[in-house]
Amino acid sequence: MSSMRDRQQGSEKKFALDEESRFKAMARRNKLLGLWAAEKLGKTGAEADAYAKEVVSADFEEAGDDDVLRKVRADFEAAGIDQSDHQIRAMMDELLATAVEQIRSA
């Protein structure tokens, strides 16, 4: 009986660590996306960092990536930057892979 409890606790700890890693990777991805978008918007330095934080914060509006996509899309449209949803999502996927790699090597 003790081994069942130990196994269950081990599974719960692994799940918690996996979720924490997933959260960190998504937050890092959103920051990288914000920096990429900031560059396209002509922002540099502290202004780019502040914009990246806005993109990270946008992810807390609802579950999934749609809130982040909407934020970047709206800012691009307001600035007259031509990027399709597909292009933005492709960059999000690419940057997620980069974020995961950065977290693993940290």
CATH number at residue 81: 1.10.790.20
Of all residues in the chain, the percent with pLDDT exceeding 70 is 86
Q: Is the dihedral of CA 81, 97, 45, 48 positive or negative?
A: positive
Task: Tell whether 62 is covered by a domain.
Answer: yes
- Structural domain that includes position 80: 26-105
Task: Tell whether 81 is covered by a domain.
Answer: yes
Q: Which residue has the higher pLDDT, 54 or 103?
A: 54
Residue 46, Cα to own-chain centre: how many angstroms?
19
| Assigned token pair, 6 | 């130990």
Q: Please give the C-alpha separations between residue 35 and each of 3, 22, 56, 100, 106, in angstroms, as whole numbers.
A: 48, 20, 10, 17, 20
Q: Which amino acid is at 14?
A: K
Of all residues in the chain, the percent with pLDDT exceeding 90 is 68
Task: Tell whether 2 is covered by a domain.
Answer: no
Task: Tell whether 66 is covered by a domain.
Answer: yes
Distance in angstroms (rounded) separating the CA atoms of residues 77 and 72: 9
Q: How many domains is the chain built from?
A: 1
Check residue 67 and give its pLDDT. Answer: 94
Q: Which amino acid is at 12?
A: E
Q: Please give the C-alpha separations between residue 87 and each of 54, 61, 92, 102, in angstroms, as whole numbers.
A: 20, 22, 9, 22
For residue 79, is pLDDT > 90? Answer: yes
- Average model confidence (pLDDT) across the chain: 90
Mean pLDDT value of segment 32-37 = 98
Tens digit of pLDDT for each residue in 12-34? Answer: 766 566 678 888 999 999 999 99
Nearest Cα to Cα of residue 59 among 24, 100, 105 = 24
Q: Which residue has the higher pLDDT, 82 or 61?
A: 82
Task: Tell whether 64 is covered by a domain.
Answer: yes
